[in-house]
Amino acid sequence: MADQSTKETSGENPVGDADGSSAKNATQNISRRRLLGTAGATGLALGAAGGATGYAVGSSDSGSSAEASGQSPALTSVGADMAKFHVKHQAGITDGLQSCGHLVAFDLAAGAGRKEAAALLRRWSDTAQRLMAGEAAAHDDTDVARDAGPSSLTVTFGFGYGFFARTGLEKQRPVALDPLPEFSSDHLDKARSNGDLWVQIGANDALVAFHALRAIQKDAGSAARVRWQMNGFNRSPGATAQPMTARNLMGQIDGTRNPKPSEADFDKRIFVPATGEPSWMANGSYAVVRQIRMLLDDWEQLSVKQQEDVVGRRKADGAPLSGGTETTAMDLEKVDANGDLVVPINAHSRITRPDENGGAAILRRPFSFHDGIGADGTPDAGLLFVCWQADPLRGFVPVQRKLDRGDALSKFIRHESSGLFAVPGGAAEGEYVGQRLLEG
């Protein structure tokens, strides 16, 4: 829960394409022409190689002029937004936060090895490409998302530590994938941690996200079984007057200082360089995944002033307690009339600053979660924390160690599951994700 996060979006992506370019508007125009053609001309037959028709048909009032003329009604901007599959870096890393998400880890089945893993990643990549384009799955599509467009769907794939022994690829396992150290705030459930394979799914429509989750699970077949699965959400696009930094379930604006692709050192901090080691991780990144329960009953007993002192920022607008607006630089030395630091020494936002951690920075892209009410009456809710970095030993680990030594927020959260995954670069045209590892 470092003081770094992605912006929520209102039908737009504030951080550009996954490769850092700013060509999304042009891409969307192309995708709209592709998706929103008239029924008379194309029948909206998306996915000619076995895809069902009608997947990109949006809803409209009955008796509209479009329907009267035999045309398919246009999708809303939310439904028509499309992320690209064949990109330099996999989708789902620099894309704006989506309103719905699923995280799922798989273990390879007994007897499954490199050959089965390659076939599985080939199936998964094909399905992801189709679904991200608003098409049906190639086989046995459930029709759950038939009436929706792509809705900014992203599907991201990663490999866990155990994957390499299962496939005989230990020599290709990155050093950066070594298990994370233990932290004092950990209360980890091993059954809901780690995994051979990891899939992150996000979309701005709940049915589109579920459709992708179900398709990925079905594609696993006999090659892999689900180890754990978690569901998350964020604010929906258009729910605020303008795009703004996300709020978490504590009501705090969460993550003003997230690195931005426009920064000169962004790629160096977040992505493995094209010349990096091992070579199959070129343009990839490492994802740390943590399920963090928020002790909301305890948190909500604090006054707003007490909550702000824990975080170091105003609850209303995210501005630092030292003054200004959300993006004003925090004055760590400012004191009040009594000579006390305005931003407390153990405030969460002070401790997580890169300049307080040897320059360590992570790109946070979380979802909130709520899994009901426990037997003791407390909400099982919090943050599905996902952060990205070129090397977790220089990103997540130093920040978390610093938090372990005195973060005021630690009394109100509990880390209950954890995973670390190597996420290779995006697949080129004609490739599947991970092909350079599995066939190299």
Catalytically active residues are: 254
Report the C-alpha gap between 296 and 413 in whole angstroms: 9
Report the C-alpha gap between 103 and 327 in whole angstroms: 31
Site of tokens 């929520």 = 8
Report the C-alpha gap between 320 and 308 in whole angstroms: 9
Among candidate residues 34, 37, 25, the one with its CA nearest the CA of residue 72? 37
The pair of structure tokens assigned to 371 is 């899994």
Report the C-alpha gap between 193 and 291 in whole angstroms: 9
Report the C-alpha gap between 151 and 399 in whole angstroms: 34
